[in-house]
Structure 1
Amino acid sequence: MEKWENKMYGFNDTTINRENPNRFLPTSAMMYDGMYLEDLVEGYQTLKVEGREMLSLEIEQQGIQIGSFITNQSLPSRTISVTYRLEDNNPEKLQFKFKDLLNFLYRTEDVEIRFRDESDYYYYGRYATADKVAGDSNSIISTFTIYCADPLKYTREVVTDGYIGNTMRFPITPTKIKVTLEKSNAIRVTNGEQTISVNNAAIKPGDQLVFDFVDEKLMVNDEDWTSVIDLESDFENFILRQGQKVVCNNGKLSVFYRGATI
C-alpha cells in the first residue's frame, strides 16, 4: 500500500476586525497567523514578496550512454522573502517596533500565511531569517524570510458527500470525515485504496463519528474513541486523489478536505 506523507493542517478562515479602513494596505500584504503586519505595527509596510512563483524540481538522474534516465524527482521546501519598510521619527520607538515585529513573527510551529493578492490560497510556514538593519536611519527598508517546509499552497476547505471532484495535482490527507451511524457495532470507510474500519465497538445508531486526521483521533459524540479503530486500518496514511469516491457501509458521511497545488 502506498504511503503518502504530507502535513495536515487545521482550517481557520480568519476575519480581521481591527483593520483601519483609512490606511493603505499593499497588494502583496501578508497575513501571518490571522493578522496583517500592517495592522500589527504602525509604520510597517510590505514592499515586495518573492518566492511564491514557480519552484524548481530536484531531479536525481543517472547518466547513460546517451543522456540520462531520471531515478527520482522531488519538490523542495519553499522560502518566501518579504521586503518591507519600517519607520518612526523617534529612534527609540523604532527599536520597540522591531521588537514587536520579531516577537510576533517568532514561532516554534508553522502558522497559516495568506497574501492579499492571493487570498484564496494558504501557505504554512514560520519566520526564519532577517537581514541586517542599518542603524543610521528612521526609515528602514529590509527583508526577512519565511520558511515553508511544506512547499504546497492549499485551497479553502471543501465539504463533499464523498466524491473528490476538485482539481488537485497531489494526493492530500483529508481534514476529517464525519459519519452519522445507522447501525450498531461496526463501520468501514474506504476510498478504494485505503480502508478505515471499526468492529465490535459500543457504537450505535445516531452516534456521530469524526475521524480527525489533524489530531489523529476518532471522536464519538465528542469523546476520544481512537483506541477502537482496527489496528490494520489505514487511518495514518488515508489519502485523497482527484476523482475518488469515499464511501462507508454504515450511515451518511461528509468528507472535509483542502486541495493542494504548487
Structure 2
Amino acid sequence: MEQWENKMYSFKDTTVNKKSSKRFLPTSAMMYDGMYLEDLIDGYQTLTVEGREMLSVEIEQQEIQVGSIITNQTLPSRSLKVSYKLEDRNPEKLQFKFKTLLNYLYRTKDIEIRFHDELDYYYYGRYTTADTVPGDSNSIISSFTIFCSDPLKYTREVVSEGYIGNFVQFPITPRKIEANLSSDNSIKITNGMQTISITDADIKAGDSLVFDFMEEQVLVNGENRTSIIDLESDFENFYLEQGQKIVSDNGKIKVFYRGATI
C-alpha cells in the first residue's frame, strides 16, 4: 500500500462528559470546534449523520494477460452530511437562527469534529454546503455538508516512553517527542527506519529538547533552536507505525501521538 499523506492537527486535550450538555442530546449530535450545535442554538436538533461509515478504497490497476496488477491504492476524502431540525414559533427568529448556524459553521481551516456516540474519535474538516430553506416556515428540516479532506478519524492523544502499542492503522506523524539529555553535544532518535539527529551542537546533559512536528521546530529548554538539527535528518518525514519502538541514544524520551483509523 502506498504511503498515506499524513496531516497534523492541533489537539485539545479535554475530557468531555457525555452528560455535560445543557439539554438532551441526540445520539449523533455533532460537537463542532468544541461545542454541540444543540447548545449553541435553541431549537436545533441533529437528526441523522451520513458519511461516518466505512470508506471505499480507490484502486488504480493495469490490466495484464490474466487479471490485473494493482499500481496504487488511495483513500478518498470524506463528506459528512448532517440532517437537522431547526424550529421557532416566529419565522423571522427562525431565519436569524439559521444565519447564526451558518455563521458558526463557516471556517477557513479544518477544525475538530466529534459525535456524541463516538467521543473517543476526532474528525477534521470544515463546512462546505447547505440546502436552501423556506423563508416562511417556523420549522425547518434540512441538511449541510462537512468536507474532510483527510478521511481518517483520530484517537485521543497517547504518551509513550517509546513503544507504539496503540492501534495505528496508517503511518502517522507524532505530535512531538520530548527528550531529557543525559550527555552533551548530540542525540539520535530512530524508529528503525528513519532517524532524527543532532551532531556537535551546544546541547548538554540536563537539557530538555522538544521535537515539535506540528510547528516543525526543535526547542532547547523552550528556545527555538531548529537550526541545530542535521540537514540529513528525517525530521520532516518521521512516521510512527504500530509495534515500533522509538529509541534514543541520549537520555529518556516521551512520544506524543494519536492513533488513526478509517
Q: Which residue is 1:212 aligned to? A: 212
The corresponding residue for 1:76 is: 76
Alignment of 1:114-193 (within 5 A): 114-193=114-193
Q: Which amino acid aligns with 2:35?
A: M
Q: How far 1:77 moved relative to its partner?
A: 0.3
Q: Is the 8 A contact 2:3 2:171 kept in 1?
A: no
CA displacement 1:203-249 (0-9 Å, x = unmatched): 11111111011111111111111111111000000001111110111
Q: How many residues align?
A: 260
Could you tell which deviates more after superposition, 57-66 or 135-144? 57-66
| Aligned equivalents of 2:165, 2:78: Cα separation in 1 | 27
Correspondence for 2:100? 100
Retained in 1: the 8 A contact 2:95–2:135? Answer: no
- TM-score, normalization by structure 2: 0.95
| Structure 1 residue 19 displacement after superposition | 5.0
TM-score (norm 1): 0.95
1:78–1:147 contact (8 Å) kept in structure 2: yes
Instruction: Give the structure 2 partner of residue 66 of structure 1.
Output: 66
Q: Is the 8 A contact 1:120 1:155 kept in 2?
A: yes
The residue aligned with 1:53 is 53
Residue number in structure 2 paired with 1:196: 196
Task: Give the superposition deviation at 1:15.
Answer: 5.0
Cα deviation, residue 172, structure 1:
0.7
- After superposition, the Cα gap between the structure-2 partners of 1:4 and 1:197, relative to the gap in structure 1 and judged at 3 Å, is farther
TM-superposition CA deviations, 1:34-78 (whole Å, max 9, x none) = 000111111110000010001111111122333322221110000
Asked if the contact 2:87–2:94 (Cα under 8 Å) also holds between the matched residues in 1, the reply is yes
Deviates more, 1:78-87 or 1:94-103: 94-103
The aligned residue for residue 261 of structure 2 is 261
Secondary structure at the counterpart of residue 236 of structure 1:
helix
SS at match of 2:156: coil
Over 3 Å counting, the alpha-carbon distance change for 1:15 and 1:106 in structure 2 is farther
C-alpha distance in 1, partners of 2:178/2:103? 38
Q: In structure 1, what is the equivalent of residue 240 of structure 2?
A: 240
Q: Which residue of 2 aligns with 1:227?
A: 227
**Which deviates further from its counterpart, 3-12 or 108-117?**
3-12
Structure 1's unaligned 5+ residue stretches are: none
Residue deviations 1:80-100 (CA, integer Å, cap 9, x gap):
000001111112211211121
Corresponding position of 1:250: 250
The 3-state SS of whatever aligns with 2:108 is coil
- Letter aligned with residue 81 of structure 1: K
The answer to whether the aligner puts 1:8 opposite 2:24 as a matched pair is no
**Partners of 1:106 and 1:191 in 2: CA distance:** 39
* Counterpart secondary structure, 1:258: strand
Q: Distance in 2 between the 1:79 and 1:199 partners? A: 45
**Regions of 4+ moved over 6 Å:** none
CA deviations 1:154-175 (Å, max 9, x no partner) are 1111111101111222111111
CA contact (8 A) 1:58 1:73 kept: yes
Helix, strand or coil: the match of 1:94? helix
Q: Could you tell me the percent identity over the aligned residues?
A: 72
CA contact (8 A) 1:28 1:117 kept: yes
> Structure 1's 4 and 45: CA in aligned 2 closer, same or farther, altered over 3 A?
closer
Structure 2: which 5+ runs fail to align? Answer: none
The whole-number CA distance in structure 2 between the counterparts of 1:71 and 1:185 is: 45
Query: In structure 1, how many angstroms separate the alpha carbons of the residues matched to 2:15 and 2:169?
Result: 28
1:16 deviation in Å?
Answer: 6.3
1:128 positional shift: 0.9
